[in-house]
Amino acid sequence: MPSITKTADPQEAVADAECTADVLRAQNAELRSELEPLREALERMPQGMCAFDGQDRLLLANAHYRNIWSLPDGVVRRGATFRQIIDVTPGRETAASRSRPSPAPGTEGTREREWQLDDGRLIEIRVSRRADGSCVALHEDVTEKRQTQERISFLARHDLLTGLPNRGVLREEIERALAGSRRGETMALLCLGLDRFKPVNDTYGHATGDALYKQVSLRLRNSVREADVVARLGGDEFAVVQRGGEQPAGSTNLANRIIEALGRPFGVDGHLVHIGTSVGIALAPHDGSDPETLQRNADLALYGAKSDGRGALSYLEPAMNERIESRRGLENDLRRALDKQQFVLSYQPRFDLRAGGMVGASALLRLHLPQRGMVPPGESSSRWRRKPDSSCPSAAGCSSRPAEMPWPGRRTWRWRSTCRRCSSCVAPSFQT
């Protein structure tokens, strides 16, 4: 700043003063020009920003700071104390934030704080404090960001359609329940497979099937206790972790409640839909002391329940694994037999004893395996069922259909032509 010296001439003094004023105005204009971009940047920051001196008096605050906290201009003014501002600030600091350590007095450091507003918004504050006690704080409304993070975390652990926990969460719950079982608590794992769901999906479409899944999940939630966990494993398979209670009575009662609940008709998109469920049950630690073994045995029990008929429940039995593996082995044999043309077609004559002659013949399909020979009809036919609208059977456990089955010496299985040939047979005379 130029110095002002006394002059004898008053006019010179006035001129010097005017010159000095012009210099000061120019310097102030230059300073404002330099500070204008900083002020513009401060106001355009996506975060609210404020600064306090070492006596906790407000030095500056941008407009976004006032908007985040909905504070009146009369309060957010230069020289206002931190206490004056905090007294009119809505909401409260979260418990998690209060538990975080603060920098020791007289030291520099940064602390992150969270503030829950009365309208539900969450404000994240990052306070940087200097050794003299002054500080600068950035304030950000992270409500939408946290909701997005929570949604992503939820979807990673839950089924998107029903909102039920997924396989990962189920495993965690099984591990917790098994830890309790080692302390003497009881625990049961119920695996559920919906019955007759595929015809609903095929008849009414996937949108109706999805709506049905949602109703199923709601009925399952209403059938269990608050301490129990219902999970969707995928498709039409669900699971329930039941902790505590007397076993096996507790799991039996729960399974019966679920079977009864899902056996009632569903009203979906204007359609009255009937399905059901089968339930397989494994008890810890008797049926498994780790998640993999327990789930595998519950699946085996479910397989047994479905084999016994729809709407049934089944516990794991000692011979069940061997029986199921045998049935699965036969299914594999059936599939291989289709490729290797190991089926034999036999004709069984039908006689009318009163008329004394043959009146027809039955075409019988027999399975001939090189390692076993001719498979007994009762064993092989247990994996076949007859459609009510067709005279041709279909493989219950196989993806292939009779119309696609290879035939010795032919490339196509011709059931209907075989039946026509049988019906055209001429019955010879027969004497008893």
Q: What pLDDT does residue 432 have?
A: 32
Taking alpha carbons only, the member of 138, 103, 135 closest to residue 124 is 138
Predicted confidence (pLDDT) per residue in 98-146, tens digit: 888 877 777 888 999 999 999 999 999 999 999 888 999 999 999 999 9
Q: What pLDDT does residue 92 have?
A: 93
**Tokens encoding 49:** 């920003």
**pTM for this model (two decimals):** 0.63
Q: What pLDDT does residue 3 have?
A: 52
Confidence class for position 279, pLDDT limits 50, 70, 90: very high
**Contact residues for 418 (Cβ-Cβ < 8 A; gap 6+):** 345, 363
Task: Write down the CATH superfamily of domain 161-317.
Answer: Reverse transcriptase/Diguanylate cyclase domain (3.30.70.270)
Within this chain, domains 48-101+108-145 and 161-317 share the same CATH topology: no
Predicted confidence (pLDDT) per residue in 44-68, tens digit: 788 899 999 999 999 999 989 988 9
Predicted confidence (pLDDT) per residue in 150-176, tens digit: 999 999 999 999 999 999 999 999 999
List the chain domain ranges: 1-44, 48-101+108-145, 161-317, 337-423
Give the least confident one: 7-21, 211-225, 274-288, 412-426.
Answer: 412-426
**Contact residues for 401 (Cβ-Cβ < 8 A; gap 6+):** 394, 395
According to CATH, the topology of domain 48-101+108-145 is Beta-Lactamase (3.30.450)
Alpha carbons 414 and 136: distance in angstroms, whole number: 86
Predicted confidence (pLDDT) per residue in 8-51, tens digit: 567 666 666 667 766 676 667 666 666 566 667 677 788 899 99
Q: Are 189 and 256 a contacting pair, CB within 8 Å?
A: no
**Contact residues for 62 (Cβ-Cβ < 8 A; gap 6+):** 42, 43, 45, 48, 49, 50
Predicted confidence (pLDDT) per residue in 194-219, tens digit: 999 999 989 999 999 999 999 999 99
Element (H, E) at 306: helix 291-308
Q: What is the DSSP letter of 427?
A: P
